[in-house]
Amino acid sequence: MENLVVFKIQLNNEQGESMNRMKRAGFVAAAMFLLLFTACGGGGGILGGGDYTESQYGIDMAYVKGGTFVMGCTPEQGGDCDNDEHPAHQVTLSDFYIGKHEVTQAQWQAVMGNNPSNFKGDNLPVENVSWNEAHSFIAQLNAATGKTYRLPTEAEWEYAARGGNKSQGYKYSGGNNIDEVAWYDGNAGGRTYPAGTKNANELGIHDMSGNVWEWVNDWYGNYDGGSVSDPQGPSTGSGRVRRGGSWRNDARDARVSIRLGNDPGLRNSYVGVRLARSSR
């Protein structure tokens, strides 16, 4: 009888220890999940690597690994370059995120409560928005999500359009056949098209050539010739840069190096916006 009691006590002790181990394992798993969830910004992507979707508004973000590239009039552009694309120069960038698509009308409406676009459709890119209004949109988006979205710098935009560190050296974003990657005056029929209906580039990003021009953060100005790291553009100016061409422009304006400068209050049916976010 004594042996039986001792056996039961030992068994209970072993079972208790087993339960303790399971509880400890559960606590560790829960802590790891919490850490991961926090690092993701509450479900908004792990900063430092990997594409993610901003769940609240369905904004798909592509992770762009930093690197060094030549910005401006590179050989694949042939004789199409404008003077302001010279000189070609070396740029080094840190990691960042950029939208896989232009901001859609549904996303703008959800954040701002209005839709200024000329061509209406939830999945069409928002247009008829100024640089100033793009910043108002970003401010409200950040307030709602607790994150730090922004416009891409001009250098970030071109690096992403070229395919980042996976670049194949294309003339347009995603290929050399413009009809496969862009809506422009040769195929658009005088209107915009839903985000992502043309082929993506090497990073899985759509419509960086054509559909609508995209505001970037920089003041417009001439390039310096030297190598630079994480450039922010001129410190002042009269116009902000837009990139990428649109449904109403020809193929030359859809090239990855094309650049224009406009008053930040400009609004029309061929200019929209794409988001960016730093990786740290």
Residue 121 sits in the same domain as residue 215: yes
Residue 23 sits in the same domain as residue 82: no
Q: Kindly state the helix (H) or strand (E) to which residue 154 belongs, with its residue range.
A: helix 154-161
Residue 21 sits in the same domain as residue 155: no
Residue 68 sits in the same domain as residue 168: yes
For residues 74-101, give the mean pLDDT. 98
Most distant CA pair in the chain: distance in Å? 99
State the average pLDDT for the chain.
88
Residue 145 sits in the same domain as residue 6: no
| C-alpha–C-alpha distance, residues 150 and 274, integer Å | 9
Does 28 fall in a domain? yes
Does 259 fall in a domain? yes
**What pLDDT is stored for residue 34 in this prediction?**
36
**What pLDDT is stored for residue 48 in this prediction?**
56
For residues 72-80, give the mean pLDDT. 98
What are 232-256's pLDDT values in tens digits?
Answer: 999 999 999 999 999 999 999 999 9
**What pLDDT is stored for residue 47 in this prediction?**
57
| C-alpha–C-alpha distance, residues 79 and 77, integer Å | 6
User: Does the pLDDT at position 95 exceed 80?
Assistant: yes
Question: Which residue from 46, 40, 239 is spatially nearest to 132, judged by alpha carbons?
Answer: 239
Range of the domain at 204: 52-278
Bond from prior residue into 87 cis (ω within 30 degrees of 0): yes
User: Does the pLDDT at position 54 exceed 80?
Assistant: yes
Residue 193 sits in the same domain as residue 80: yes
Residue 190 sits in the same domain as residue 92: yes
Residue 82 sits in the same domain as residue 216: yes
Residue 68 sits in the same domain as residue 201: yes
Does 44 fall in a domain? no
| C-alpha–C-alpha distance, residues 65 and 168, integer Å | 15
User: Does the pLDDT at position 102 exceed 70?
Assistant: yes
Q: Beta strand pairing status for 228-229 and 89-93? A: parallel
**What pLDDT is stored for residue 4 in this prediction?**
38
Question: Nearest-5° angle of CA 35, CA 40, CA 279?
Answer: 120
Does 201 fall in a domain? yes
Confidence of residue 225 (pLDDT cuts 50, 70, 90): confident
Residue 7 sits in the same domain as residue 29: yes
Does 45 fall in a domain? no
Q: Hey, what are 94's tokens? A: 């840190």
**What pLDDT is stored for residue 280 in this prediction?**
79
Confidence of residue 12 (pLDDT cuts 50, 70, 90): very low
C-alpha distances in Å from residue 102, one per residue of 68, 92, 145, 154, 190? 25, 24, 19, 15, 18
Beta carbons within 8 Å of 13's beta carbon, 6+ residues apart: none
Domain containing residue 232: CATH number: 3.90.1580.10
Phi-psi region of 134 (alpha: psi -120 to 50; beta: other; left: phi over 0): alpha
| C-alpha–C-alpha distance, residues 71 and 58, integer Å | 31
Residue 76 sits in the same domain as residue 9: no
User: Does the pLDDT at position 208 exceed 90?
Assistant: yes
Confirm if 217 and 152 have CB atoms less than 8 A apart: yes
Q: Hey, what are 29's tokens? A: 């798993």
What are 116-162's pLDDT values in tens digits?
Answer: 999 999 999 999 999 999 999 999 999 999 999 999 999 999 999 99
Does 30 fall in a domain? yes
Residue 87 sits in the same domain as residue 194: yes
**What pLDDT is stored for residue 17 in this prediction?**
52
The tally of domains found in the chain comes to: 2
| C-alpha–C-alpha distance, residues 225 and 62, integer Å | 29
User: Does the pLDDT at position 11 exceed 70?
Assistant: no
SS3 277: strand
Beta carbons within 8 Å of 264's beta carbon, 6+ residues apart: 130, 131, 132, 239, 240
With a pLDDT cut of 70, the percent of the chain lying above it is 83
Question: Which residue from 174, 258, 277 is spatially nearest to 220, judged by alpha carbons?
Answer: 258
With a pLDDT cut of 90, the percent of the chain lying above it is 81
Q: Beta strand pairing status for 276-278 and 271-273? A: unpaired
- The model's pTM: 0.84
**What pLDDT is stored for residue 49 in this prediction?**
80
Does 46 fall in a domain? no
Does 47 fall in a domain? no
What are 19-46's pLDDT values in tens digits?
Answer: 445 445 443 344 343 333 334 444 444 4
